Chains A and B, each alone.
Chain A
Amino acid sequence: GENVEQHPSTLSVQEGDSAVIKCTYSDSASNYFPWYKQELGKGPQLIIDIRSNVGEKKDQRIAVTLNKTAKHFSLHITETQPEDSAVYFCAASGGANSKLTFGKGITLSVRP
């Protein structure tokens, strides 16, 4: 089955700086890669996703890049703000069903 790994487990940045979170996956058949943000006491919420036929996708301050050859994808957050502090999960999925395999999450702290 699919195995998704995230590194590091925690990341601290100064407000205004950029943050990059990286994930690797194992199944070359995976073709959908969403990112979820989880705030304290809440369920994860989709913030951006990318399909395998695209190398990069942007939405305001966030962007995701995908390298299918190396089987890794990254979340980029520019001009970080304190409200970006949360746990971020990457996930991967492939095939004909809805099953997502999540990484263990990374805790991002943005220092004011």
Chain B
Amino acid sequence: DAGVIQSPRHEVTEMGQEVTLRCKPISGHNSLFWYRQTMMRGLELLIYFNNNVPIDDSGMPEDRFSAKMPNASFSTLKIQPSEPRDSAVYFCASSRTHGIYNEQFFGPGTRLTVL
């Protein structure tokens, strides 16, 4: 299995620009998670989906952030407009089913730099 695939791996953009991060979960996994990692705040859950439906988006920092999962094999995290404080590593993870005992498999992350 290829694991969780994220693109791009690195993104450098200017403040005010729209940024779209992409994720392909492991085939057969029904839950998908978006995390943000920074030195100050550690690893924060932004949003997670089960069967393509958003279950908990309480971690989404503000309206500039949005996430979609149009089908079981693809999800996007969009920031519009981007700000320098959005600079972080963004991880996508997937798990086989919904429930607390299911291992989450993380992708390699997208390092976002907003100038």
Contact = CB atoms under 8 A, between A and B. Distances in A.
A102 B91 CA distance: 13
Contacts of B107: 43
Contacts of A32: 100-101
A69 interface: no
Interface string B63-91: 00000000000000000000000000001
A71 B98 CA distance: 25
B34 interface: no
Contact residues on B (Cβ < 8 Å of other chain), bracket: 20 to 34
Contacts of A104: 41-43
Interface string A68-112: 000000000000000000000100011111111111110000000
Dominant secondary structure of chain B at its interface with chain A: strand
A31 interface: yes
Contacts of A67: none
A42 interface: yes
A102 B106 CA distance: 14
Interface in A17-47: 31-32, 34, 36, 41-46
A93 B56 CA distance: 14
A99 B32 CA distance: 11
A43 B99 contact: no
Contacts of A98: 31, 33, 48, 50, 55, 95, 98-100, 102, 104
A89 B108 contact: no
B108 A41 contact: yes
Nearest to B50: A98
Contacts of B33: 98
Interface of A: 31-32, 34, 36, 41-46, 49, 51, 89, 93-105
Given A43-B91, A104-B41, 11 more contacts: A32-B100, A42-B109, A43-B108, A43-B109, A51-B101, A89-B42, A98-B48, A98-B104, A99-B100, A105-B42, A105-B43
